[in-house]
């Protein structure tokens, strides 16, 4: 079984071969403005054409993508440390290894478009505009958190971002509902509804498919297939692991989710498809998480350390982008190292804030139930305890 899984990982995550990083530093005057790259062709279902197999990456975009992915990587590693130090309590699901998914999807849509995802949401929180400081403060339950310290790891929100949902698969019908609002308002916006391979077997996902297809909703259903639902390999949990074909009557495509350029072009293609009025589309992102399912899962009881090491060496999304940029003179190793230093400082400063900011007082436990409502009383644990709710 382990050999079969290792072979599957190697097979599904293999992209266009990349040359090893050159160690020659490039003078700033010799930087290229852009470069064209071949990307892996997507597998298609009920589609005559798919995303392009070549794309242009500008130096500006490359540096932005690199810094964003590196920030998410370092943010998750610091969250691991804070959890082990018991500053973060409760559920905590990390997404290191899957950075190309959230960053690539954001690069392929508009800020006015909508995103809803599962509880593995920290990366999406950052790409949707939340600061590292507000994310860390929410993880540690402090007043400076994006949800005032009341949501924690699984319940973070920002403009046009609807969480972070703790119920497996619940974001499916919610995402369809957001897409229904987009169509009702006629604002040419689309909704990305992201879920994992474990949630893909939930009945409510198929109900959402049906309604979205019936009403031609502008919804991109995105399955982040990291090959394991908790500790169960996809082959042991699903009769068919072709998640991009699960829509049956809905077109789909399978994408290399470890390559940010593949994800970006697929996101553009899917968003354009939905905006054209053709209805929903299903996208499967083949990716991999380095941590276990959650912080309570060491992640090595159902897969080998060699398997994780092999993916890190051959398919790491941050390394893949770094090698492309250096080899094509879009950046130098020295310049990228400077970005790494900036990122580490930002992460350390945010962690310091998140461990010293005060916790929300008990009197505010009933606040923010509604976005705009006159103050009212909320009953506590018994009828004699009352809390005031303020929007």
For the stretch 239-282, pLDDT in tens is 999 999 999 999 999 999 999 999 999 999 999 999 999 999 99
Kindly indicate the confidence band of residue 16, based on its pLDDT and cuts at 50, 70 and 90: very low
Let me know: does 103 contact 126? Beta carbons within 8 Å: no
Distance, C-alpha 277 to centroid of its chain: 26
Confidence (pLDDT) at 371: 85
Whether 27 has a pLDDT exceeding 70, the answer reads: no
Residue 252: the pLDDT is 98
Q: Report the pLDDT averaged over residues 363-381.
A: 91
Cα–Cα distance between 188 and 179 in angstroms, integer?
10
Three-state DSSP class for residue 73: helix
Which whole number is the average pLDDT over 349-354?
98
Averaged confidence pLDDT in the chain: 93
Q: By the 8 A CB rule, do 197 and 238 touch? A: yes
Q: What is residue 7's predicted lDDT score, i.e. its pLDDT?
A: 55
- Report the pLDDT value the prediction gives residue 123, as an integer from 0 to 100: 98
11: confidence class by pLDDT, cuts 50, 70, 90: low
Measured between alpha carbons, how far is 311 from 221 in angstroms, rounded to an integer?
26
H-helix or E-strand spanning residue 194: strand 191-196
Which residue's entry shows tokens 């790494």?
A: 340
Its pTM stands at: 0.92
Q: Return d(Cα 215, Cα 325) in angstroms, integer.
A: 43
Residue 24 has pLDDT above 90, yes or no: no
Q: What would the pLDDT profile of 112-131 be if each residue is shown by its tens digit?
A: 999 999 999 999 999 999 99
- For residue 94, count other CB atoms closer than 10 A to its CB: 25
For residue 25, is pLDDT > 80?
A: no
**121-180 confidence digits (pLDDT tens):** 999 999 999 999 999 999 999 999 999 999 999 999 999 999 999 999 999 999 999 999
Q: What is the mean pLDDT of residues 30-43?
A: 97
Helix (H, G, I), strand (E, B) or coil at 34: strand
Report percent pLDDT > 90 for the chain.
90
Q: What's the confidence (pLDDT) of residue 89? A: 96
- H or E element: which one contains 317? helix 317-327
Sign of CA dihedral 331, 335, 339, 340: positive
Q: According to the model, what pLDDT value does residue 21 have?
A: 43
Contacts for 384 with CB less than 8 Å, ≥ 6 apart: none
pLDDT given for residue 327 in this prediction = 97
pLDDT recorded at residue 143? 97
What confidence tier does 383 reach under pLDDT thresholds 50, 70, 90? confident
Across residues 57-64, what is the average pLDDT? 98
């Amino acid at each position: 079984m382990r050999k079969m899984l290792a072979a599957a990982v190697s097979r599904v995550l293999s992209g266009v071969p990349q040359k090893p990083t050159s160690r020659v530093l490039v003078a700033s005057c010799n930087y290229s403005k852009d470069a064209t790259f071949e990307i892996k062709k997507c597998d298609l279902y009920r589609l005559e054409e798919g995303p392009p197999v070549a794309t242009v990456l500008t130096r500006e975009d490359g540096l932005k993508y690199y810094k964003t992915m590196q920030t998410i990587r370092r943010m998750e590693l610091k969250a691991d440390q804070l959890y082990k130090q018991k500053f973060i309590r409760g559920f905590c699901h990390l997404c290191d290894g899957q950075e190309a998914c959230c960053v690539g999807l954001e690069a392929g849509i508009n800020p006015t478009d909508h995103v809803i995802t599962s509880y593995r949401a920290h990366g999406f929180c950052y790409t949707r505009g939340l600061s590292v400081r507000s994310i860390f403060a929410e993880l540690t339950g402090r007043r400076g958190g994006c949800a005032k310290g009341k949501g924690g790891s699984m319940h973070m929100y920002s403009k046009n971002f609807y969480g972070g949902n703790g119920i497996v698969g619940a974001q499916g019908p919610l995402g369809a509902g957001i897409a229904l609002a987009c169509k009702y308002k006629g604002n040419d916006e689309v909704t990305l509804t992201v879920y994992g391979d474990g949630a893909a077997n939930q009945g409510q996902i198929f109900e959402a498919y049906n309604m979205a297809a019936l009403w031609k909703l502008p919804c991109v259903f995105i399955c982040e297939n990291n090959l394991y639902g908790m500790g169960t390999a996809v082959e042991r949990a699903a009769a068919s692991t072709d998640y991009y074909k699960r829509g049956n009557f809905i077109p789909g495509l399978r994408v290399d989710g470890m390559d940010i350029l593949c994800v970006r072009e697929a996101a553009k293609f899917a968003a354009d498809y939905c905006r054209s009025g053709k209805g929903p589309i299903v996208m499967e992102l083949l990716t991999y998480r380095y941590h276990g399912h959650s912080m309570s899962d060491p992640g090595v009881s159902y897969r080998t350390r060699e398997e994780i090491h092999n993916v890190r060496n051959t398919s790491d999304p941050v390394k893949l982008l770094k090698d492309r940029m250096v080899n094509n003179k879009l950046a130098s190793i020295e310049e990228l190292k400077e970005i790494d230093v900036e990122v580490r400082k930002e992460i350390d400063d945010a962690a310091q804030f998140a461990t010293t900011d005060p916790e929300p007082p008990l009197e505010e436990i009933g606040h923010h139930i509604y976005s705009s409502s006159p103050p009212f009383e909320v009953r506590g644990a018994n009828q004699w305890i009352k809390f005031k709710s303020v929007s």
